[in-house]
Structure 1
Amino acid sequence: MSLLTRTTCSFFAIGLLLAACGNEPEATEPAADETVVETEEATTETLETVADADAEATPAPAGVDYTAAESGTYTEDDGHAYIVFSYDHLGFSKPIVRWGDWDANLNWDADNPENSTLDVTIDATSVDTGVADFNDHLNSADFFNTAEYPQITFTTTALEVTGADSGILTGDLTIKDTTQPVTMDVTINKAGFEERGNVYKLGFSGRTTLLRSDFGLDAYVPNVSDEVDVVVEAEFEKPA
């Protein structure tokens, strides 16, 4: 074979080799957007599966059995009854003040709780800050003026049951010579019979926010906040 022929064959072989290499199929990778979508879908399916498993494993709370405390008139358990209020003092703190002496009558309708009524009378002179001089100031004409208005009263006008253990209590609050409607969020903690005391019991928690200026108690506003947070924690009992 001549040199020309061998050279031609060599170029022909190289050409075939290059053609073969150039025709190799390229590996195809998924687009970035497709990968993100597939990952999000897989994550969503996993979360839904976990949520379904949790829902099956954890039953919904049964709430409070209102009928466990029979209908009738209940009074506060003085050893477990608290009415406190707090306010912002110059931005430095939120003091907590308690009324130490108050009476309440709860007419409880176990079958229809929304028909229940509550009347509360607070001895305004029993305000307790923990500081005797401050107690005297709150009793003065600057604030509660207890010499002329020794009582604070609250009487319900409506009770709405909003959940298995919750409600909204509406009533008229009278401080000094002013009466204003007040709405309080209420949690019914427990209803039942307490064998140790041989009494039926109901436990409540209540929270609301008032403007003290609505009741003529506007001294030092706004340095001392107009808004006052009121918290009630109380157990009521009825002898068996």
Structure 2
Amino acid sequence: MKVLTATAVAALAAATAFADPVAYEFDRGHTEISATWMHQGLSRQSLQFTDYEGTLLLDFDNPENSTVDITFNLIDGLWAGAHHDRFIGHLNSPDIFDTAQYPTAHFVATGFETEDSVTGTMTGDLTIVGVTVPVTLDVTLNRLRDDGTAGFTATSTLVRTDWSPQVGIYAPVAVSDEVILTINTELEVAESDAE
């Protein structure tokens, strides 16, 4: 009996170790992706990304097996609040994002590191206006519920001129070159993996 039990436990451990990552989807009602910057040294302003699609295959036991690949629609996927149409039109123009030629931004994770399974870093490549720059996000797993729902906060400081002088327009005096990217999200197990 002890041999059978030990064998069953070993088989279960092996199955867990080689389990496939689980597919997740954004809970869009509880996800906010924003970028903030300083305006003329006077105040922080912000922009939200509202239209995004991606592949989220997460392995909480072995994060290095995870896949994160997200595409952001810049043409219709930006929200800025006051003077929205004028500001978004300016961002979409050839002066900055030139969305007629580059309608999307694209992030692909290249690595995950954590020592406690709660906090860590996610490195990846972020492509804007056809230029790819490596970035690092500080990630916190806020909670992982029994049903698989997961809540994360991730932040990174991006330097606009790393992509191009065009993306870094008005830096550093009128608009800070540094932009703080903040992601607060709740992720739900995709229906295909929930069944």
Range class of TM-score, shorter chain: 0.7 to 0.9
Partner residue of 2:162? 214
SS in 2 for 1:79: helix
Choose which of 78, 90, 99 in structure 2 pairs with 1:127.
Answer: 78
Equivalent position to 1:91, from 23, 41, 56: 41
* Structure showing the higher strand proportion among its residues: 2
| 1:111 paired residue among 34, 48, 61 | 61
Tell me the secondary structure at the aligned position of residue 95 of structure 1. strand
How many angstroms does 1:71 deviate by?
4.1
TM-superposed CA distance for 1:215, in Å, is: 1.1
**Selected match of 1:147 from 69, 87, 100:** 100
TM-score by structure 1 length? 0.66
For 2:90 and 2:140, locate their aligned partners in 1 and report how far apart those are by CA, in whole Å. Answer: 33
CA distance in 2, matches of 1:141, 1:99: 19
Between 1 and 2, higher relative CO (CA 8 Å, sep ≥ 6) is seen in 2
**d(CA) in 1 for partners of 2:141, 2:187:** 11
1:237 Cα deviation from its structure 2 partner: 1.1
Q: 1:180 corresponds to which residue?
A: 133
Give the deviation of 1:114 after TM superposition: 2.7
State the aligned residue count: 167
Contact kept, 8 Å, 1:75 with 1:103, in 2: the verdict is no
Question: What are the superposed Cα offsets for residues 50-99 of structure 1, whole Å, 9 maximum, x if unpaired?
Answer: xxxxxxxxxxxxxxxxxxxx941112111111110011100111101101
Q: Which runs of 4+ in 1 moved over 6 A?
A: none
> Which amino acid in the other structure matches residue 213 of structure 1?
T
Mapped pair 1:225 → 2:176: yes
Residues 143 and 110 of structure 1: is their aligned pair in 2 closer, same or farther, counting only changes over 3 Å? same
Please tell me the root mean square deviation across aligned C-alpha atoms, in Å.
1.7
Q: TM-score, normalised by structure 2?
A: 0.81
5+ residue gaps, structure 1, are 1-69, 195-199
Q: Does 1:236 align with 2:187?
A: yes
Q: Which of residues 8, 31, 51 in structure 2 aligns to 1:81?
A: 31
Q: CA deviation at 1:186?
A: 0.2
Q: List alignment gaps of at least 5 residues for structure 2.
A: 1-19
More helix by share: 1
Q: Is the 8 A contact 1:114 1:161 kept in 2?
A: no
Q: From the CA coordinates, give the structure whose radius of gyration is larger.
A: 1
Partner of 1:4: none
